[in-house]
Amino acid sequence: MTLANRIAGVCLIALFAVAAASAQKQTNELTSNDIWSVSMRHDTLLILTGEGVNFTTEAARDTIAWDGFLDLQGWAIAYGGGKALIVLLPENADEQSNRLWLYDFATGNQKRITPRFPSNREFGEKDAKTLADFYLSDATWHAGSFWLACNDGGLLRLDDSGNDLTAFFPGIDKKAFAPRSIPPDENERYPDSALSVRSVAVDDSGGVWTLFDSRIMLFNPGDTTWRETTSLPEVKELLDVSAVGGGETTRLYITAATVEKGDIDTSLFRYLPASSEWTKALETTPLLTHIGAHIHAVIASVPENRLYIATDEGVGLYRDDGAGMLVEEIESGDFQQRMLAAYDLDQADMSIQDIDFAATEEDTFFVIATSQGLFYSTDERRDEREKNEFRYLFRAVSIASGLNQVYSYPSIINDITQKAFFAYNLTENARVTIDIYDYNMDHVIRIIDKSPRRAGSNLPRGRSTEEGADYWDGTFNNNGGKTVAPGPYYFKISTDKGQRAFGKVIVAKPR
């Protein structure tokens, strides 16, 4: 081989390597770092953020490529049977939340469900009340049904086709009925609070455990009967329930507000229905180091009788030996310190908001939803925990870049749309320049030149765009002049911090 050919070969290899490096794209695309809730089962991961719901069906890998995004403002999510149910936030402050959104992963079909709450007059209640809108506080899935806790009263079951919604009232052994069949009386008041269901969990044998006030009730879906358990005098209010096992081996973990020496605090209790035995499982230390700290989530589905418990203070891993207090295995601050250290985050800025745990045949996954992004760890084995850093932090904005969510809307400038706005979000205030280029990257016009723009996190829709200025009308002067030639155009948004992003807009407007 001649020297020239060798050089040619090396140059080609080097050039292709450069090209390959330049072609890499960011794969973890979230729309918000403020992650309220997370649900993971097998390979499907859903997160609820302030912007919507991100999901992937291939979570069991080193990097998460988000498959899709639902532009919904939600309160809670539940996943099961290949479907996701999102409890939507009310559209305005005067409303309760009763809108549901059902998404089918297999078909991509979505539908909105707006159930009308039935009158409880059918059950002979004296003060019959009904409500057109109602407040849903919890959701879970089991064996083809979503179970929803209604804080205004009732346990709701929605079949996962979204077509059959029925309501059951605690303590009332009646056959289920469909709310839609009874027209609501809008002049009546809210249902009695004794019928409100705060939380719901389903054990492995299908028993539906619900909480209201200071009572725990087991609902049997088969014969629609209720069974009440004993209650604890020191419990002021039951807050949340998780169920492990089924039948005689069922074990419940219940978060409750307790009153001790006149102070209100939160504690974790273990309840064994088989023996009606209540025990306190966790004291207020070390997790709950101040009054008011509360437990966000208890994940009891970890193998070997372990629980992950997330609170305002952090996340801890505990072992339950069946009696007495839980044994702490990983300190509550340990996870948090690892997360903060790995990504140079400020502890004061981050709060733990939800956790979930999932297992596949090959691995286990633990995800933590925080106000600063989604942390994700695989193979969280106790014996090797020092080696297992939280490997991945998924954020809407990479730590280096402060410019994101860049696009034009509408992206086609024609005789109807007339102009396109440029959407972009800054993580800090900056001076922004927007340029337009044609297909040959020839400069067309500068839209704004080093104009000050505010960080988008506190602005409507989290966007830094200034609607009155950040637009192009498809002309050479951006002021109704001569329209440019039809075709695709490319815009560049750059900041004085050195950030740049590109987008596309099409002009099909008459001259």
H or E element, residue 311: strand 306-311
Question: Please, which residue, 1 or 348, has the CB nearer to another protein?
Answer: 1
Question: Please, which residue, 176 or 508, has the CB nearer to another protein?
Answer: 508
Q: How far is CA 235 from the centre of its chain?
A: 30
Question: Which residues of this chain interact with another protein, rule CB under 8 A?
Answer: 2-5, 7-8, 11-12, 15, 18-19, 22, 71, 406-412, 414-419, 421, 423, 435-446, 449, 461, 476, 482, 484-488, 490, 492, 502-504, 506, 508-511
Q: How far is the CB of 400 from another protein (least distance, A)?
A: 17
Question: From CA 60, how far away is CA 43, in angstroms rounded?
Answer: 5
Q: How far is the CB of 451 from another protein (least distance, A)?
A: 14
Question: Please, which residue, 290 or 482, has the CB nearer to another protein?
Answer: 482
Q: How far is the CB of 479 from another protein (least distance, A)?
A: 14
CB 253 within 8 A of CB 307: yes
Helix and strand element counts for the chain (H, E): 2, 36
Q: How far is the CB of 116 from another protein (least distance, A)?
A: 26
Question: From CA 298, how far away is CA 311, in angstroms rounded?
Answer: 9
CB 207 within 8 A of CB 250: yes
Question: Please, which residue, 106 or 441, has the CB nearer to another protein?
Answer: 441
Question: From CA 329, how far away is CA 286, in angstroms rounded?
Answer: 12
The SS3 of residue 26 is coil
Amino acid residing at 222: G
CB 334 within 8 A of CB 340: no
Q: How far is the CB of 458 from another protein (least distance, A)?
A: 18
Size of the chain in residues: 511
Q: How far is the CB of 500 from another protein (least distance, A)?
A: 8
Question: Please, which residue, 84 or 444, has the CB nearer to another protein?
Answer: 444
Q: Are strands 315-319 and 35-41 parallel, antiparallel or unpaired?
A: unpaired
Q: How far is the CB of 109 from another protein (least distance, A)?
A: 14
The residue among 36, 26, 97 whose CA lies nearest residue 399 is 26
- What count of other Cβ atoms lies within 10 Å of the Cβ of residue 494? 18
Measured CA angle at 96 (ends 93, 98), to 5 deg: 135
Tokens of residue 366, six digits? 């633990």
Q: How far is the CB of 504 from another protein (least distance, A)?
A: 6
Q: How far is the CB of 72 from another protein (least distance, A)?
A: 12
The residue among 199, 140, 131 whose CA lies nearest residue 170 is 199
Q: How far is the CB of 379 from another protein (least distance, A)?
A: 35
Question: Please, which residue, 255 or 465, has the CB nearer to another protein?
Answer: 465
Question: Please, which residue, 93 or 441, has the CB nearer to another protein?
Answer: 441
- What count of other Cβ atoms lies within 10 Å of the Cβ of residue 425? 24
CB 308 within 8 A of CB 315: yes
Question: Please, which residue, 20 or 106, has the CB nearer to another protein?
Answer: 20
Question: Please, which residue, 23 or 348, has the CB nearer to another protein?
Answer: 23
Tokens of residue 223, six digits? 């014969």
Question: Please, which residue, 390 or 472, has the CB nearer to another protein?
Answer: 472
